[in-house]
């Protein structure tokens, strides 16, 4: 699963999904937590602690264009671009 970003122990990943979620989304790992998160910040599956979910949502809100471009790349089997972490 290609890594988009990593900060504060949160890892952001994206891949061409098997069709489970039709909406653009990314995957997040934090410690033992796993979640699939839509670009609008809604959790599609899994869970995260509230403080990390807040950071994930802030990050996603700041990187909508990059997320959408990477979604297209993933669907076309292209290499994904890294996205900057929150400052």
Tens of pLDDT, residue by residue over 1-60, are 689 999 999 999 998 665 555 789 999 999 999 999 999 999 999 999 999 999 999 999
Backbone angles phi, psi at 24, to 5 degrees: -60, 130
pLDDT digits 0-9 by tens, 47-81: 999 999 999 999 999 999 999 999 999 888 899 99
H-run or E-run covering 26: strand 25-30
Does the model's pTM come out above 0.85?
yes
Is the Cβ–Cβ distance between 51 and 41 less than 8 Å? Answer: no
């Amino acid at each position: 699963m290609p890594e988009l970003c990593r900060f504060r122990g949160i890892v952001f990943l994206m891949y061409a999904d098997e069709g489970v979620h039709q909406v653009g989304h990314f995957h997040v790992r934090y410690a033992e937590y796993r979640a699939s998160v839509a670009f609008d910040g809604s959790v599609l599956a899994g869970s995260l602690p509230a403080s990390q979910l807040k950071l994930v949502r802030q990050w996603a809100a700041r990187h909508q264009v990059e997320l959408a471009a990477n979604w297209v790349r993933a669907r076309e089997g292209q290499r994904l671009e890294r996205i900057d972490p929150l400052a």
